[in-house]
Amino acid sequence: MSILSEEFLSPIWLSVQVAIVSGLLATLFGTTVGFWMARTSFKGKMIVETLLMMPLVLPPTVVGFLLLVMFGKYSVIGRAIEWLFHQPVIFTWWAAVIASTVVAFPLMYQSAKAGFSTIEADIEGAAKVDGAHPFQVFAYITVPLALPSLLSGSILSFARALGEFGATLMFAGNIPGKTQTLPTAIYVAIDSGQMELAWTWTICIVILSFIMLLAVRSRSTT
């Protein structure tokens, strides 16, 4: 198989697409929830935070199974999606995005919460005293101060989404050109004895992951 053929490039391009969208969604939700958790205190907060971090420690197959149950045709969410879009979300491109977002979310959430927690309340309070709107304080003071942590979290989320395998395989399947990402393509190639193809795809994903982690390291040292 040529490295310029559509069959070879399709899993790579699909993985990058899914990782970008999943990384953006994880960044959005992780930043929002991380800011809220860093600024609030309530009874049962530790339990909520533990639940938010569960996708990080659960086996990917368990995450995939839970997503199947949550978005299946017998669930409320699944029926609502099928009614709105006239098709189920399972075994679609968006299923791969959802699975990758769920497993990448804890990394972004933890980074965002840590970044926001290090900001002294006096700095934000001084801006509010001077008449700044809460949104202005968040956009021009809070986010810039937490930016290194937010950038690290977003890059790690992208890298995690890029390497997602188990949950994606169970929830989105392995449909070439539709849901077959690099990890699932490598698995199929090995299973069918196409070791040269598997090695080529492996080198591609190693290079992409190395670049992402190198970017995180460079951000942490600046």
Q: Are 111 and 219 in contact (CB under 8 A)?
A: no
Q: Are 208 and 18 in contact (CB under 8 A)?
A: no
Q: Which of left, alpha, beta for 133 (phi over 0: left; psi -120 to 50: alpha)?
A: beta
The mean pLDDT value for 92-114 works out to 94
Helices (H), the chain: 6-39, 45-57, 60-71, 76-85, 93-117, 121-129, 134-137, 143-162, 166-171, 182-191, 195-221
Give ∠ CA 65-66-69 in degrees, rounded to 5.
90
Domain ranges for the chain, please list them: 14-123+130-172
As a whole number of angstroms, the distance between CA 8 and CA 192 comes to 15
Q: What is the CATH number of domain 14-123+130-172?
A: 1.10.3720.10
The mean pLDDT value for 13-31 works out to 93
Q: What is the mean pLDDT of the chain?
A: 87
Q: How distant, in Å, are the alpha carbons of 4, 139, 179 from that of 97? A: 25, 28, 9
pLDDT digits (tens, 9 = 90+) for 126-164: 877 777 788 888 888 888 888 889 988 998 898 889 888
With H, G, I as helix, E, B as strand and everything else as coil, classify residue 170. helix
Q: Which of left, alpha, beta for 131 (phi over 0: left; psi -120 to 50: alpha)?
A: left
Look at residues 33, 91, 27 and name the one whose alpha carbon lies nearest to residue 64. Answer: 91
Q: Which residue has the tokens 């801006």?
A: 127
pLDDT digits (tens, 9 = 90+) for 29-64: 999 999 999 888 888 889 999 999 999 899 989 999
- 213 confidence band (pLDDT: 50, 70, 90): confident
**Cβ count near 221 (within 10 Å):** 6
